[in-house]
Structures are given as C-alpha cells and as structure tokens.
C-alpha cells in the first residue's frame, strides 16, 4: 500500500492512501461537527410511534438547511438521506413506514458532504425501556469503537485497531461482524484503506499523520454472520440476534488521533440521554 499527499491527487480512488494537511483537517472538522449536531438533534426526534421515514426527512431537511448534502442520497442507487437499522438489522436499513416502538434499538447513520468534505458518523438510539441485554450490547459496542480509536497513532497499524476491538468484544460472548468495515474518507465517501474491526497487532496498513478514516464496528449478541435482504441493501444477522453499531470519522495527527464527529453535547451515548 502506498501513500500520497492529498493535494496532489484527483478526487478518484487511486489505490493509494491520501495524506491530508491542515486544510483537510479544517474541512473534516466542519463536516464532522455538522453530522454530530444532526445526530444530537435526532435524540428528540427518535421516539415511540415515529416511522423511520420521518427520521430520514429530518436528516434531509437538516442537511439542506445547513448547506450540506446527504452523501447516501442517490449513492449507488440508494434513495435515502440516512440508514436506520433496527434491532437485528446490522446496517443499511432503509427508512420506511416502520414505526419505532418500546424496546427497539436503532442505529442512525448520517454522512454529510460539506464544502466537498465527508463527515460520517452513527449512533444508537433506544426506545426505552429496553432489555438489559440490549443495553449491554450498546455499551460494549460504544466501548469497542472508542478502544479502536484509542489505538490510532502514527506507526500503529489497522491490525492494532481491529485487535483492540476484537479482543474486547469476544471475551464478552459477543461477535464482530466481518462483512462490513470502516473506510478511508475525505473528499470521497469510501476510499482506501479498509478498516477491518478484527485483527492482529502489527498487521495491516501502517497509520501515518494525515490519514482520514472511519471506525464503525458492528457487534452482534449472537454469531457474526449476516445476510442481505432481497431489497439489496438491508443487512441482518443470520441468527436474528440483536446488532449494534457506532461510527466516528477520525484523522491521524502527529501524535495520535482527532475525532471529527464528536458531539458537543456528548449526546452520543444513548443510555445517558434516555
């Protein structure tokens, strides 16, 4: 895997890892902050009886009224401004008529393009009260993401990130989804490298200052296997066990990591807000 100064590259996927400078960090901070604000405000929208289509409308209107564009809208044929993944849906749940009800847990994944930069983040929301095992799943998933982020610094590898997540999750009897991964991003939605949420220390791609990527582990209460429904998008657990996910967009700094999609309100831990 080779690296290239981002200013010298086109907007295409080149097979090289882009290394961004100060203007890239500034662009990602702005995009990430807007996504975090939208996810904060969703806390008040996500309530019992609300269909996921209303969440989608909120995200779309929020984007357009803040000069942003929802990156998923018309992306590879996807027609919505967000993904809403309820209970055993692992990711890419499509908004629709389904009304949220007591006991549901739902991941809402928002990606905005702001001045050409992509901010990508997701959180879990709950319709209280939820089962204790669902609470534990959400806590473990959030902690798994944060441990993955804590492994990020120059000289570390993508395997270190995966190992930090896998070695925390599996001893608790939960599993890490293999079929989807984090991804490089910046002025593109999905770029090099893939960030796999399992791994061994020292393996994979070396992290360097200026790399931007997401960490977005999907954790299942049961087995890791997923299947895609006939709509071509919705990924569900094969064993119908509950699944949770959190996602942040991060940048590698000279000494460690910067999280671009942090919440000012710290509203991302759902159990703190219900």
Site membership for ligand MF3, residue 111 (CB under 6 A):
yes
Count the alpha carbons within 13 Å of 264 in the hemisphere toward its beta carbon: 9
Question: In the beta sheet, which residues pair with residue 109?
Answer: 83, 122
Instruction: Using the Cα atoms of residue 19, residue 258, residue 264 and residue 96 in order, give the sign of their dihedral.
Output: positive
User: In whole angstroms, how large is the CA radius of gyration of the chain?
Assistant: 17
In the bound complex, what is the minimum distance in angstroms from residue 132's beta carbon to Co ion? 27
- Kindly write out the interface string for residues 126-165 of this chain, putting x where it contacts ligand MF3 by CB under 6 A and - elsewhere: ----------------------------------------
- Single out the residue of 26, 57, 24 nearest to residue 191, CA to CA: 24
Choose between 74 and 240: whose C-beta lies nearer to Co ion. 74
Site membership for Co ion, residue 160 (CB under 5 A):
no
Place of tokens 């949770």: 244
Stretch that binds ligand MF3, among 22-30, 75-83, 133-141, 143-151 (CB under 6 A): 75-83
Strand, helix or coil for residue 218:
strand
Site membership for Co ion, residue 109 (CB under 5 A):
yes
| Cα 50–chain centre separation | 23
Q: Confirm if 137 and 221 have CB atoms less than 8 A apart.
A: yes
Site membership for Co ion, residue 214 (CB under 5 A):
yes
- Kindly write out the interface string for residues 189-228 of this chain, putting x where it contacts ligand MF3 by CB under 6 A and - elsewhere: -------------------------x-x------------
Widest CA span in the chain: 52
* Residues near ligand MF3, by CB under 6 A: 72, 75-76, 78, 83, 92, 109, 111, 120, 214, 216, 233, 247
User: Residues forming the annotated binding site for substrate?
Assistant: 92, 190
* Residues near Co ion, by CB under 5 A: 109, 120, 214, 247
């Amino acid at each position: 895997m080779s690296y290239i100064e981002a200013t010298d590259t086109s907007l295409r996927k080149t097979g090289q890892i882009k290394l961004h400078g100060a203007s890239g960090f500034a662009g990602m901070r702005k995009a990430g902050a807007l996504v975090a604000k939208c996810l904060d405000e969703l806390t008040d929208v996500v309530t019992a009886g609300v269909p996921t289509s209303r969440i989608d409308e909120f995200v779309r209107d929020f984007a357009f009224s803040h000069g942003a564009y929802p990156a998923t809208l018309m992306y590879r044929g996807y027609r919505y401004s967000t993904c809403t993944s309820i209970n055993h849906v692992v990711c890419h749940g499509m908004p629709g008529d389904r009304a949220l009800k007591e006991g549901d847990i739902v991941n809402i994944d928002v990606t905005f393009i702001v001045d050409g930069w992509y901010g990508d983040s997701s959180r879990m929301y709950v319709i209280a009260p939820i089962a204790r095992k669902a609470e534990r799943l959400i806590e473990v998933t959030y902690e798994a993401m944060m441990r993955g982020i804590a492994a990020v610094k120059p000289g570390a590898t993508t395997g270190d990130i995966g190992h930090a997540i896998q070695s925390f999750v599996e001893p608790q009897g939960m599993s890490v989804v293999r079929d989807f991964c984090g991804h490089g991003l910046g002025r593109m939605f999905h770029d090099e490298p893939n960030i796999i949420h399992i791994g061994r220390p020292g393996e994979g791609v070396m992290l360097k200052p200026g790399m931007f990527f997401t960490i977005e582990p999907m954790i299942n209460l049961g087995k890791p296997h997923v299947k895609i429904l006939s709509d071509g998008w919705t990924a569900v657990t094969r064993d119908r066990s509950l699944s949770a996910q959190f996602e942040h967009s991060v940048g590698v700094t000279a000494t460690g990591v910067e999280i671009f999609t942090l919440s000012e309100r710290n509203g991302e831990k759902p159990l703190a807000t219900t």
